[in-house]
Structure 1
């Protein structure tokens, strides 16, 4: 009985609503954690996470859409499976940290904060963060269409509106200009800069990167703003003539250097080589083959020595793209090169080659008076040069002979001559060369192909989405249930207005 009375008294005490509030003090605080976020660590961590992310939707899938490679075993992506794709990696793991850096650096209270300044000048940290933010948001909007942007990354808004793709592009270009103009030489090293190294001499490289990105971003809008006096051409030419310059030499290029010893592996090292082959379409184009049974969809008829960097055996056939079943052994076809799949080979962020080719296209569109042929030739020569330079160390380590690469001069001259005979003229040749120069970076090549239609790819023979090369990823499945109003509004901007991978986003319409 005494035990029963004791239990009753205890229960009354525990459930009594009139009991005094108790202050638990710092019980729920991590007293061992940092008092303030470290902007240098947030910045370097965001950059590293973005360039080391792995998984088919995050890295490989677009390379299949543009027919760089084929799948041998798991063929869903190659056959255009029409399924939702998550964007959590971008928003939760990368952009949220960049926003924290930007918020800290834009807060006037931190202008003289020694903890913040220990990681670099305010303007330079802010510049790097905004440039990376633009790079990543371009990736997300180019993949989905309208997305959360202005209301994204808020800790209190769990139902962010979707911004129009047009407004997102204009905001990204504005950010790039602000970043470029806000950076300046400083005695303070930008510690979060793991691309150029953060020293004062590298500020100019970030500014050139910003301008080269504006060229890319502006050209992506060429369908919507085709005229020389319209928004895209105006922004393109303003960046091209900006005093900070654009990337024109290998020494100014932006590459991400991987460090396998510290688990910063090239994401292509993640794939299982037995699951992929080089596509016949890509290999035939590189070899310039146009005979019966060849699948070269470009205007090229000249052997491109870059194939020795891209394929493990330049003499083997690539595998025909887009079939459900393939009975031959994987070794019967050329696989991606050991250079491409190496854990430590660097990957490009922005190159002189791509910048020259963008300039060539803009000139061909009548946006400015630059010489189209010269820009095309410079782009091809720069591609040969930078690939030879950046792949040399890994080639030596893997004992891969790349001495046959050459300087590309004969090939470049032949491609300039192709302008006169290609059905699509200069723009066709230029965009086909972008396809080659961007390998293996499928996301950028996919964005270019959707905008221009070059090269003239044929959909997968056994496609399961109605036979349309995908124009986008489907929105994450959680958006349809947790953020439904915004999700439905985003769909209305697609053509047709359905959440499918065959629907076109704004700049693709």
Structure 2
């Protein structure tokens, strides 16, 4: 297929997947040169003497978690996340048909689907590898702790897209870079978080300041190591919950470590939310850029129907009303898999976007920090932990569920005396004013009000549905939670062009390995497919993704 012009302008070529990045392998000269050219502007020879270098490398990795890479060019983010997880999660949909056969109707585009792989290694792992080469883990263990947390946060997103990826052996050879099973990767994540949180607790208790101002480089917590510790524990809890069906023993053990107050606590307040600030000339919030400047992204029908059906007070903060003059202004999303025609963009571009213009103070601007974890999400994780009977959840499932809702409402500056007790409202059915063939009944009959007498599956649906609403617009984690739990119930694709490899009802489970790995690392990527236990396509479940 012919790729969209803007994506073609982003000319990326990836050579030996990890080899070309962590140790600068020479299989691909362009990427070898790119890796060994210091994009922070600090010569390698000055690293041990220049505190700026430490901060710049870490800042680069922090910004890459959501992808502010490529000098602020949103092309990379568009194919890394927006044209897959953002849409698969039920949050976004593009009005642009991009030629008609795309990820958004399950015709998976090879040229798009390697971007998350590339960003994980070139933009997260590479600067952290350079940082480690300065000896920072011995000289400044607190800085190294933050780097480890950033690496786990970034690379957990990569493995949750593909499954097995090179991790423990990355950079150990020039060719034949082995993949790790996803189970081994998760176990390594937990060990790395062990080291990081131990170092942070030691540093915090010492009360000794660093000999340089780390806050000027930290675009997440401005040098507040206590907040980094809370995020690390919250991240551990999130990862533990991911694996509950695949390895319940480890999931419980790791969750209880995270929840143990002696270990530093988890995020409980919106002031500790994990957000990445837009920092540096030319950088913008990439999701806002796609919606505002290119009009290549709009709101998905699923999130719109849950918000409007539940009469959610966050609706006007999340969304703008449609501006299409052929029907009355309203909140109107686009159903995934429905865009096929050559004139589709002009037909659908005036459906709802994120809140860019409505109201006195639109929530989303080009400089809005990117949200990656919130206190609300952590309360819902704790509600689920309480449902399983795990230690230190800090309340009952009902208490934590309701606290998750109220914390999210507070984050978005809204209040409601009735929302949390609504036992009647359900998600709306979807109607498409332009194409009735896209219409669909309400995806769920689940209401908002907690019912302690309900069966566990209904309790889980309530927890995850409200968690999904609260995590908006962070589609990567939302897609993971949908695959892990089956909730919320999302509208399936209208047109499924996967040739039978992806179930319309079960929906897409992963992205295939990038083609360049087959070209340059064939033996190892073939082993990785064997680890998957199924074919390398979008219908094969990851290790933690159990029916």
Structures share fold, TM-score greater than 0.5 = yes
- Aligned pairs for 1:87-236 within 5 A: 87-105=117-135, 111=139, 122-154=140-172, 156-183=173-200, 184-185=203-204, 186-188=208-210, 189-190=213-214, 192-198=217-223, 202-226=224-248, 230-236=249-255
- Aligned pairs for 1:381-460 within 5 A: 381-388=406-413, 406-414=414-422, 415-417=448-450, 424-460=457-493
Residue 450 of structure 2 aligns to a residue whose secondary structure is helix
| Corresponding residue of 2:539 | 502
**TM-score with structure 2 setting the length:** 0.73
Decide whether the 8 Å contact of 1:276 with 1:336 is kept in 2: no
Q: Structure 1 runs of 4+ off > 6 angstroms?
A: none
**TM-score with structure 1 setting the length:** 0.79
Give, in whole Å, the separation in 1 of the partners of 2:472 and 2:105. 20
CA deviation map 1:472-503 (0-9, x unaligned): 111111111211111011101224x2110111
Query: For structure 1, which runs of at least 5 residues remain unmatched after alignment?
Result: 1-28, 112-121, 289-301, 389-405
Residue 532 of structure 2 aligns to a residue whose secondary structure is coil
Residue 269 of structure 1 aligns to a residue whose secondary structure is helix
| Corresponding residue of 2:307 | 286
1:439 Cα offset (Å): 1.0
Bigger drift between 137-146 and 49-58 goes to 49-58
Bigger drift between 334-343 and 428-437 goes to 334-343
1:417 Cα offset (Å): 2.9
Give the count of matched residue pairs.
Answer: 429
| Corresponding residue of 2:46 | 36
Bigger drift between 261-270 and 457-466 goes to 261-270
Decide whether the 8 Å contact of 2:319 with 2:355 is kept in 1: yes
| Corresponding residue of 1:478 | 516
| Corresponding residue of 1:72 | 95
Bigger drift between 211-220 and 97-106 goes to 97-106
1:194 Cα offset (Å): 2.2
- Aligned pairs for 1:236-251 within 5 A: 236-243=255-262, 244-251=264-271
RMSD: 2.5
1:238 Cα offset (Å): 1.5
Query: For structure 2, which runs of at least 5 residues remain unmatched after alignment?
Result: 1-36, 48-52, 323-329, 357-361, 423-447
Decide whether the 8 Å contact of 1:146 with 1:493 is kept in 2: yes
Give, in whole Å, the separation in 2 of the partners of 1:129 and 1:107. 9
Give, in whole Å, the separation in 1 of the partners of 2:181 and 2:261. 28
Decide whether the 8 Å contact of 1:319 with 1:333 is kept in 2: yes
Decide whether the 8 Å contact of 1:177 with 1:210 is kept in 2: no
**CA pair 420-305 structure 1, distance change in 2 beyond 3 A:** farther
**CA pair 334-169 structure 1, distance change in 2 beyond 3 A:** same
**CA pair 48-281 structure 1, distance change in 2 beyond 3 A:** closer
| Corresponding residue of 2:365 | 342
Give, in whole Å, the separation in 2 of the partners of 1:33 and 1:239. 39
Residue 288 of structure 2 aligns to a residue whose secondary structure is helix
Decide whether the 8 Å contact of 2:233 with 2:266 is kept in 1: yes
Give, in whole Å, the separation in 2 of the partners of 1:285 and 1:456. 10
1:384 Cα offset (Å): 1.4
Give, in whole Å, the separation in 2 of the partners of 1:268 and 1:251. 23
| Corresponding residue of 1:24 | none
Question: Which one of 54, 60, 82 corresponds to residue 108 of structure 2?
Answer: 82
Give, in whole Å, the separation in 2 of the partners of 1:263 and 1:387. 27
Residue 372 of structure 2 aligns to a residue whose secondary structure is strand
1:269 Cα offset (Å): 2.6
CA deviation map 1:13-72 (0-9, x unaligned): xxxxxxxxxxxxxxxx99x94523322211112212333243323121211112212222
Decide whether the 8 Å contact of 1:151 with 1:157 is kept in 2: no
1:422 Cα offset (Å): 7.9
1:267 Cα offset (Å): 1.1
1:101 Cα offset (Å): 1.6
Decide whether the 8 Å contact of 1:471 with 1:501 is kept in 2: yes
- Aligned pairs for 1:301-316 within 5 A: 302-313=310-321, 315-316=330-331
**CA pair 383-234 structure 1, distance change in 2 beyond 3 A:** same
**CA pair 342-312 structure 1, distance change in 2 beyond 3 A:** same
Give, in whole Å, the separation in 2 of the partners of 1:79 and 1:422. 34
